[in-house]
Structure 1
Amino acid sequence: MSLIQVSNLTFAYEGSYDNIFENVSFQIDSNWKLGFTGRNGRGKTTFLQLLLGKYEYSGTISSNVEFEYFPYPIKDASKQTIDIVDELFPDYEYWQLSRELSLLQVGEELLYRPFASLSGGEQCKIMLATLFLKEHQFLLIDEPTNHLDVEGREIVSQYLKRKKGFILVSHDRAFLDECVDHILSINKTNIEVRRGNFSSWWEDKQRQDQFELAENEKLKKDIKRLDEASKRTSQWSHEVEKTKNAGKQASGLKPDKGYVGHKAAKMMKRSKVLEQRQHSAIEEKSKLLKNIESNVPIKMTPLDYYKAQLAELRGLSIYIDDRQICSDVSFTIEQGDRIAITGKNGSGKSTLLRLLCGEQFSYTGTFLLGSQLEISYVSQLTSHLSGNLKDYAREQGIDEALFKSLLRKLDFSREQFEKDISAFSGGQKKKVLIAKSICEPAHLYIWDEPLNFIDVISRMQIEELLLEYEPTIIFVEHDRMFAEKIATKMVSL
């Protein structure tokens, strides 16, 4: 066991006016299993890069352990997988690698295939196995779940549960609950460490938020009371001056300006003291609400279709270049359905969604899609996004003000609106696609892995949106908790 001590850490990217971290201090134990959470763009990956010594910063990070980062950069994915492993960590025994692969339910025959030919989930498991060959290292595991299907996530979570000494960045609540014993959270103004899994951390956070909200209400009442008292005192001092002047003038005597001035000055001084108390109260409480996350409700406008049934698939098999992608798929899409498409990576989930969107594929069986359906689609891919948000909104034919309002509710800062979309984080790019879709009135929403890279709190906002407005939606999503809460039907490929 050793401690990783972070003291007064301050960091900003070159050319940026805003600090990502400012005077942050905390310590963690190298034996802990840390889940790392926080809103998109708060600096989770940046912090991991700071631990690796990639950037200059002020403050100190002291540790007696070395850090290893996942995912590894792969220079030549055409090589055999075993050669990739040898390059990443030449000093291992084959039986050790075999043991790790067995725990991850990966066949050893994959080692003798080109790395590029493996699925994203298989590549992820191979790299994790290699990572854990390195003993006496503190491991920095950055969003492995983005490449894993539901079954793969379960396998990897059980694997990590047996390990220790890592920071795991993930937005999958069920995944974090399975395999971490501490939570490292980037809040609005600080980084904090708490014992427990994600669910226990979230319960604690909600209690803290409620306490701060109650304190804020008390503050508002105090300010109102002080403000009214200050106004009364100010009025009192004016009345005293008027009364004294009026009394002297009525008796034909000159007013005692010294006396009146003295009394008025005392009243004004008392008024100022009360005013200062008011400002002191504001300053004293100004730190309240500093870490309350904005979970503002979002609105959408799903359209009613003129028929109850929007689509029907019976015995459907889809082909690409004579290769069967999926077979014997049968289900209907009724108005109000929220359908989760499940299945292993490569089972044809995305192809099925693209067929529903109107893309042309060869198929056998029955495929009936309602006429004049308005469809809103969220793609898995974000690499095509570039330019500014204003131009993007115009190109997509959506209302710019509504679009930006939705992004603000999903925790975009106003400064973010000035940046090129290509410079956004992975989660922020996905939010652009989701906000665009929410802006579009549609009969059917088709979302392909919408939550990849998206932070936990935004996931909860999207859950609440779908449960409140009950749009007809068909989606692929490997976040088990999200799928279980949202879906009214499950279709397994």
Structure 2
Amino acid sequence: MLQISVVDLVRQFDREPILDRVTFDVRAGERIGLVGPNGAGKTTLMKILAELDHPDAGEVILGSGVRLELLEQQPDFVPGRTLIEEARAGLGEIYCLQQEAHDLAQRLSQIPDSVEQERLTKRYDTVQHELHHLNGFQVDHRIDEVLLGLGFSRSQYHQPLTLLSGGQQNRVLLARALLKSPDVFLLDEPTNHLDIAATEWLERYLVASQRAAIIVSHDRYFLDKVCTRILELNGGKLSDYPGNFSQYWRLREERQLVADRAYEKQQEFIAKTEEFIVKNKYGQNATRAKDREHKLARAQESQVDRIRDIQGPPMGFGPPTRTGDWVIEARGLTKGFGSPLFSDLTLRIQRGERWAFLGPNGVGKTTLLKTLLGELQP
């Protein structure tokens, strides 16, 4: 079943369009990874799909009744609202349908056979169908599944959102999007604030949900586990690849090799044809030269497109200053907010070493880094 049809989409901010006649479809159950270099227009495309931006040309056509949900990037919560209240806030439609189903069931038990009963029965069946479509049964169980899966504990359910860390607040936004159970998830960097356990849970959740999804992520392992198709946006153009990220990368290299060979062959033909025209334009082979000019014009009009390389962001690091053997040393380091996140921590980092701090969300990894950098006082 077709969920989204994107036709000849154009979006332009500067001289070159960031989206240049982009066309693709999304079918039910497809999980699409949207990849490409930074600044290629991935977030712009997601915003257009969510109707938060508009194209300069082209159109987005949704299937009948199809609902989209874009993962928000900036927390903007109602003051004083708790975690559980925020999780339930996005489910207002489901709660209303549940109440209506309850009221209809009571009325049906009280009305004898009549035209009114037939009307109520039809409405009751419609409400049940809508609840099924919205995954609206066992809502409290679903809330538990999502919040616990994303690393929250039940002890945090009634905690004001303002007391959560920035990363935890972004996980609330992800929980809210997942709980709405749209037909198509639009997820822009969903794993940014997740630890390993929560990322693995999200992989399983998206696959099991059988909902369509368009996912922007720099986590190739996540895209490998989740995606059934990859769309590459590069230079305003969209390329379509079946399979997960690893399959896409192999197929991309194969296509690039074929395109490079075709391009080189065409350039060789153009060079030889131009040389023949120059040598024979005014001689006894002038007629043949004229014919070659037509062939040359056709070849130049149908230039073989080469697959663009994906360039990383430009970074320039100057030569490092020679330091001592020990770069950082901490002794008896303690830091917390109310209760300690870490205490009596001692470490020494030697020049050239590369350390990784691992642990669940909220245990103090970012706080430790900021303390080591001097941005927070121990």
**TM-score using structure 2 length:** 0.73
Residues 1:154 and 2:156 aligned together = no
Match 2:358 to one of 327, 342, 346: 342
Residues 1:89 and 2:91 aligned together = yes
Deviation of residue 113 (structure 1)?
A: 0.8
What SS does the corresponding residue of 1:339 show, helix, strand or coil?
coil
Note closer, same or farther for the CA distance 1:358–1:49 as it changes in structure 2 (3 Å cut). closer
Question: Residue type of the partner of 1:23?
Answer: R
Match 1:333 to one of 349, 357, 374: 349
Per-residue displacement from partner, 1:164-210 (whole Å, max 9, x unpaired)? 32222211111121222222322324224333111111111122112
Kept in 2, the 8 Å contact 1:104–1:159? The answer is no
Which structure has more RCO (C-alpha within 8 Å, separation ≥ 6)?
2
- Cα distance in 2 for partners of 1:95, 1:159 equals 14
**Residue matched to 2:8:** 8
Per-residue displacement from partner, 1:418-474 (whole Å, max 9, x unpaired)? xxxxxxxxxxxxxxxxxxxxxxxxxxxxxxxxxxxxxxxxxxxxxxxxxxxxxxxxx
Kept in 2, the 8 Å contact 1:325–1:348? The answer is yes
- Cα distance in 1 for partners of 2:142, 2:219 equals 29
Aligned ranges for residues 227-266 of structure 1 at < 5 Å? Answer: 227-233=274-280, 237=282, 264=283, 266=284
Deviation of residue 24 (structure 1)?
A: 2.1
Considering only aligned residues, what root-mean-square deviation do their CA atoms show, in Å?
3.3
Question: Residue type of the partner of 1:80?
Answer: T
- Cα distance in 1 for partners of 2:25, 2:52 equals 20
**Residue matched to 1:70:** 71
What SS does the corresponding residue of 2:191 show, helix, strand or coil?
helix
Structure 1 residue runs without a partner (length 5+): 238-263, 363-493
Deviation of residue 114 (structure 1)?
A: 0.7
Kept in 2, the 8 Å contact 1:317–1:324? The answer is no
For this pair of structures, how many residues does the alignment match?
329
Note closer, same or farther for the CA distance 1:217–1:296 as it changes in structure 2 (3 Å cut). farther
**Residue matched to 1:27:** 25
Aligned ranges for residues 41-440 of structure 1 at < 5 Å? Answer: 41-57=39-55, 58-62=57-61, 63-64=63-64, 65-71=66-72, 74-90=76-92, 91-92=94-95, 93-135=139-181, 137-165=183-211, 166-233=213-280, 237=282, 264=283, 266-267=284-285, 270-285=288-303, 287-294=304-311, 301-303=318-320, 305=322, 307=324, 309-311=325-327, 313=329, 315-319=331-335, 324-354=340-370, 356-357=372-373, 361-362=377-378
Deviation of residue 345 (structure 1)?
A: 3.7
What SS does the corresponding residue of 2:202 show, helix, strand or coil?
helix
- Cα distance in 2 for partners of 1:131, 1:202 equals 29
Identity over aligned pairs, percent: 28
Note closer, same or farther for the CA distance 1:206–1:331 as it changes in structure 2 (3 Å cut). farther
Kept in 1, the 8 Å contact 2:161–2:169? The answer is yes
- Cα distance in 1 for partners of 2:235, 2:269 equals 26
